[in-house]
Amino acid sequence: MSDTPTNLDALRERIDSLDNDILRLISARAECAKQVAEVKTRSDPDSVFYRPEREAQVLRRIMELNTGPLDSEEMARLFREIMSACLALEQPIKVAYLGPEGTFTQQAALKHFGESAVSLPMAAIDEVFREVEAGAVNYGVVPVENSTEGVISHTLDSFMDSSIRICGEVVLRIHHHLLVSEATLRDKVSRIYSHPQSFAQCRKWLDAHYPRAERVPVSSNAEAARMIKGEWHSAAIAGDMAANLYELEKISEKIEDRPDNSTRFLIIGSQHVPMSGEDKTSVVVAMRNQPGALHELLEPFHRHHIDLTRLETRPSRTGMWNYVFFIDFKGHVDEPRVAAVLEEVRLRAAELKVLGSYPMGVL
């Protein structure tokens, strides 16, 4: 027992030495990133600094090389922040997201781009598209589907009249908490604010614990969190980011009915993304209104053994009872096999629009 402090001091000295090594290596990486920026700028003043496929490859490599004790995803998140800070030295990324501040969409944006990105809240999904199209921001982040509630139709519809491309995706595990402010009388809660989707995702829990409370739908969970600051009888359903932003207390955590509740977000931009090795492609297809049209659309994918990951139908804007199909599948447009399938589909369809090929979500 007498040599325990000595052992502890030795371990602390070892940690200090390792911290010095980490600091030196991160600084060296940052310096290298600045040199990359200088080389790119000399060769092309309009050069793109953020490369989604390169970042995905780096993070996958880190996860493959990791031997613990830190979890591979945790290690990748650490490297994401290092890469985000280094990229900010080259050129800070401006990202528009569906606001207000404190939403799950902002959380998804920071998860994908890191804390060094400049994130700008927008009031609606179509505003995110407009900001990207106008070049006011580099990228946008919009929700596209939830594992419980299904597709976000407004996002799909926004692609129909837009030239914006999909550059990436991020999947966020959604945890809802019941939040109160310092003014709330916990045993007197008679009103709960939240987004309609969150009410749907927590319906069984609310029925069991607050069956008589008024459920007031608002535009976002962050707005719900903001609204309860001055009300003594109200609570809000929201996530960690909104709780921290408005300094609210969680009186019940993870109240979603399904523990696997997740939302998928799309990263939208204007660039073509090269292959990363593990990619998805999204397309929208309008078929002629005739018997067997859906089979004719899907048959080439089956024949070429291409894995479809999502198929959605939306009303077409060209005529009543006409529909378009949104399809996600594994593969990249630059792969010969995928190019052959899309050429077949193009010949069979009334219209085919490739929304983008992009790396599959790493984190």
Q: How confident is the model at residue 38 (pLDDT cuts 50, 70, 90)?
A: confident
Closest by CA position to 129, among listed 362, 358, 355, 363: 355
CA distance 221 to 223: 5
Burial letters for 63-101: b for 16+ Cβ neighbours within 10 Å, e otherwise? beebeeeeebeebbeebbebbbbbbbebeebbbbbbbbb
Looking at residue 144, its pLDDT comes to: 96
CA distance 263 to 220: 15
Looking at residue 317, its pLDDT comes to: 73
Q: How confident is the model at residue 155 (pLDDT cuts 50, 70, 90)?
A: very high
Torsional class of 96: left (φ above 0), alpha (ψ -120 to 50), beta (otherwise): beta
Q: In this structure, is the dihedral angle defined by the CA atoms of residues 270, 274, 277 and 280, taken in order, positive or negative?
A: positive
Kindly give the residue spans of alpha helices, DSSP state H, lying in 210-335: 221-227, 240-245, 293-303
Query: Is 2's pLDDT higher than 70?
Result: no
Q: Helix, strand or coil for residue 247?
A: coil
Q: Helix, strand or coil for residue 150?
A: strand
Mean pLDDT, range 43-51, rounded to an integer: 79
The fold of the 177-252 domain, in CATH, is: D-Maltodextrin-Binding Protein; domain 2 (3.40.190)
Backbone torsions φ then ψ of 152, nearest 5 degrees: -95, 100
First-residue to last-residue Cα distance in the chain: 44
Q: DSSP character for 202?
A: T
Count the neighbouring beta carbons within 10 Å of the beta carbon of residue 4. 8
Class of domain 5-89: mainly alpha
Q: Where are the domains of the chain?
A: 5-89, 92-174+262-269, 177-252, 279-359
Burial grade of 285 (CB within 10 A; 0-12, 13-18, 19 or more):
buried
* pLDDT tens, position by position, 99-148: 999 999 999 999 999 999 999 999 999 999 999 999 999 999 999 999 88
Mean pLDDT, range 59-69, rounded to an integer: 96
Share of the chain above pLDDT 90, in %: 80
Helical (H) or strand (E) element with 249:
strand 249-252
Cis peptide, bond prior to residue 100, ω within 30 of zero:
yes
Q: Judging by DSSP bridges, how do beta strands 94-98 and 118-122 pair with one another? A: parallel
Burial grade of 162 (CB within 10 A; 0-12, 13-18, 19 or more):
middle
Count the neighbouring beta carbons within 10 Å of the beta carbon of residue 310. 14
* pLDDT tens, position by position, 201-230: 999 999 999 999 999 999 999 999 999 988
Do 92-174+262-269 and 279-359 share a fold? Answer: no
The fold of the 92-174+262-269 domain, in CATH, is: D-Maltodextrin-Binding Protein; domain 2 (3.40.190)
Looking at residue 6, its pLDDT comes to: 74
* pLDDT tens, position by position, 316-348: 777 655 789 999 999 999 999 999 999 999 999
- As given in the structure block, the two tokens for residue 57 are 């490859």
Count the neighbouring beta carbons within 10 Å of the beta carbon of residue 312. 16
Q: How confident is the model at residue 1 (pLDDT cuts 50, 70, 90)?
A: very low
Q: Helix, strand or coil for residue 20?
A: helix
Looking at residue 89, its pLDDT comes to: 86
Q: Judging by DSSP bridges, how do beta strands 214-217 and 323-330 pair with one another? A: unpaired
Mean pLDDT, range 242-260, rounded to an integer: 95
> Could you name the CATH architecture of 279-359?
2-Layer Sandwich (3.30)
Q: Helix, strand or coil for residue 3?
A: coil
Contact 178, 235 (CB under 8 A): yes
